[in-house]
Amino acid sequence: IKNTALCGLGQTCPNPVLSTLRYFRHAYEAHIKDKRCPAKVCQALLVYTINPDKCTGCGACARACPAGAISGEKKAPHAIDPAKCIRCGSCLQKCKFGAVELG
């Protein structure tokens, strides 16, 4: 577009996109190819997991989850069902042990 446009607007309108591609290519590729957000702000691309080494099985995360996506026995490591998870972050905020991780 930039090289073939006949007017000044057509020649300059691609500049913002070209600049972001030049300086933030890794972020574009992470979002498009890897389906992840390096800045951890795009909710649709967030993945919440529970680290079994840190989880005490207290159930605070499961009680906080509005979608019922967290399961597990008392005093045993819990797990998050990614298909049910609505990525609200309630579990991350409620876990006192840092077992809920954002990837």
Q: Which domains, from first to last, does the chain contain? A: 1-39 (no CATH), 46-102 (3.30.70.20)
Q: pLDDT (tens digit, 0 to 9) for every residue of the chain, 103 residues total?
A: 677 877 888 888 889 999 999 999 999 999 999 999 999 899 889 999 999 999 999 999 999 999 999 999 999 999 999 999 999 999 999 999 999 999 7
Q: How far apart, in whole angstroms, are the C-alpha atoms of residue 87 and residue 60?
A: 16
* Statement: the pTM of the whole predicted model exceeds 0.75: no
Residues sharing a CB contact under 8 Å with residue 27, sequence separation 6 or more, in sequence order: 38, 39
Q: How far apart, in whole angstroms, are the C-alpha atoms of residue 84 and residue 39?
A: 23
